Amino acid sequence: MTTSVPSGVLLGWFDRHERDLPWREPGLSGWQILISEIMLQQTPVSRVIGPWHEWVRRWPVPSAMAAASAGEVLRAWGKLGYPRRALRLHECAGVLAEQHGDRVPDEVATMLTLPGIGDYTARAVACFAYGQPVPVVDTNVRRVIARAVHGREQPGNPSRTDLDDASALLPRDPDDTFATTAPRFSAALMELGALVCTARTPRCDDCPLTDCTWVRLGRPAHTGPPRKVQKFAGTDRQVRGLLLDVLRDTDHPVTRDRLDIAWTTDTAQRDRALDSLLVDGLVELTADGRYCLAGEAD
C-alpha cells in the first residue's frame, strides 16, 4: 500500500465525532455485542437501536433466548429484515448455552463454528467485545481503504486481501498500547466510512485523512461495473415480509386464505415466497394444514 492512515489523526477525529450508540457503552458482554452485530447487518443504525435495547433486556444471556421459541424470536425481530438472521441467532443461543458456558467465546476460530457467525461478525465481536487487535472489515471500511489507500472510488469484490489491507493499517504503537488502540481505530475507520466517506456523496472537505490517494488523483470515477441498487418494492423479499407480518400479528396458526390475501398482485410470486419461507424454516405447517412461525406448530 502506498498510503497509510495516521492513527492519531483518525482517533482524534473519532473522539470528536463518535456517535453515541448503546452497544459502544463500556462493560457490555460478548452476547450483547453479538446481538448488535447481527442486527446491524444490512440494516440502518437508526432502526436497530430500539430493538437492541429490547432484546438485551428480554434476553440478557444466551440461555434466556434459547428458552424462548424460534417463533417468539422471529416475532420480536419485527421489521429488521432478513429474518433468517434471527433464526440463526436463536440457534446460536442454544449452542452457547449448552456448550460454551452461556457466553460468547472470545476466539475468532471458535466463534466461526457457531451457527450464523461469519468472518466479519466473529472478528467484530472479538474486537469490540473483547478488545482484540484483529482487523474488522465491513462495507464502510472497504470503501475508506479503496479511496484513501488505493485511489479507487469504490472497492472491488470482497476478498481476503481486504483483511490484509486493514491489518496493515492498524496502529502498532511503540509504547505497547496496540491492544487497546487497535479496536478503537477499527471503530473509527468504520465511523469515517459511515459518516464522511459515504458511497454516494462523500464529504471530502470534512475528512481528516488529508493524504487520501483518491482525492490526490482528482477523485477518478469508478470504472468497473455499475453498483447494483437493491430494490425492495415488488420483490420476493417484500412478499415474504408481508406473509411473515400476518403470522407475527397472531399468536396462533392461520389458514392459507389468511396468507393469500396478503399479496394478490401476483399469486405465483406469493406461492413462491411462501414455499421459500417453509424451506428456510421460518414458517411451519401444523398437522391440520395451517401455517405458523417456526417452533409454533405444536
Q: What is the CA radius of gyration of the chain?
A: 22
What is the spatial distance between Cα 105 and Cα 88, in angstroms, rounded to a whole number?
A: 17
- All three cell numbers of 158, joined, read 470482497
Q: Which helix (H) or strand (E) holds 283?
A: strand 283-285
What is the spatial distance between Cα 132 and Cα 110, in angstroms, rounded to a whole number?
A: 14
What is the spatial distance between Cα 64 and Cα 51, in angstroms, rounded to a whole number?
A: 16
User: Is 37 noted as a catalytic residue in this protein?
Assistant: yes
Given a contact cutoff of 8 angstroms between Cβ atoms, the answer to whether 199 and 153 are in contact is no
Distances (CA, A) of 36 to 44, 63, 69, 255: 11, 17, 20, 35
- All three cell numbers of 289, joined, read 394444514
Determine whether 125 is exposed, middle or buried from the number of CB atoms within 10 Å of its CB (0-12, 13-18, 19+).
buried
Kindly name the residue from 25, 37, 107, 153 that is annotated as catalytic: 37
Size of the chain in residues: 298
What is the spatial distance between Cα 273 and Cα 283, in angstroms, rounded to a whole number?
A: 11
Q: What residues act catalytically?
A: 37
